[in-house]
Structure 1
Amino acid sequence: MDYREVSGDREFVARLGHGADWRAEIESLADDEGIDAAWFVGMGAVQDADVWFYDQDDQEYHEVSFDEPMEVAACVGNVSLLDGERFAHTHVVLSRESGQALAGHLDAATVFAGELYVRTFDEPLVREHDEPTDLDLWL
């Protein structure tokens, strides 16, 4: 296990823009406020979503698209630097009208309504290639 202590004292609450892209809104906040490392949680609703699942055997993402309104029952993730750009690594649990839950790595989603809490870290988080998983993980 790799770990380190982090500190930070900047906190934000945000309302995501109706019709905007959920993940892009988080990255826009990070760009506007110069946030290179943070943890966030959110909730709300989306009009559609592209969710990725990482196949550990093939070591590649598979995308599933949903063109329907869904509740964002939970959203959790972090902001870090990936190839010099701010990246919002975002996971969600989405709920259909029936109550069926869908979950995974959120690539994109059109915001119907969204609320976000962000806590920053003073130390940057930088993603680099991890050979065993073929993923870009924190240093």
Structure 2
Amino acid sequence: MPSFDVQRVIVGRMSRGDEILEHLTAVAREEGILTGWVQLLGAVETARLAFYDQDAKTYREMV
């Protein structure tokens, strides 16, 4: 099994009304992040959950 050495930890905070994906994308660009692991804690007003179907090579939304 491959293992990885964690190089950096970036902690951020979002404001109410922020779009999660837009915020994470902006942080990744600003910090030069190409891959990573994201952990979130908090509340959202609306949400969609999807996963990548490797066989179909497409995202599938969970309802």
**Common topology (TM > 0.5):** yes
- Which structure shows the bigger proportion of residues in helix conformation? 2
> Which whole-Å deviations, capped at 9, do the CAs of 1:71-104 have from their partners, x for residues lacking one?
xxxxxxxxxxxxxxxxxxxxxxxxxxxxxxxxxx
Letter in 1 for 2:46: D
User: Which has the larger share of strand?
Assistant: 1
Residue 27 of structure 2 corresponds to residue 29 of structure 1: yes
Q: Return the letter of the residue paired with 1:39.
A: W
Q: For CA contacts below 8 A with separation 6 or more, give which structure has more relative contact order.
A: 1
Matches within 5 A, 1:16-55: 16-53=14-51
Identity of aligned pairs, percent?
32
Partners of 1:17 and 1:25 within 8 A in 2: no
SS at match of 1:25: helix
Offset at 1:45?
Answer: 0.5
| TM-score normalized by the length of structure 2 | 0.67
Could you list the runs of 5+ residues in structure 1 that have no partner in the other structure? 66-139
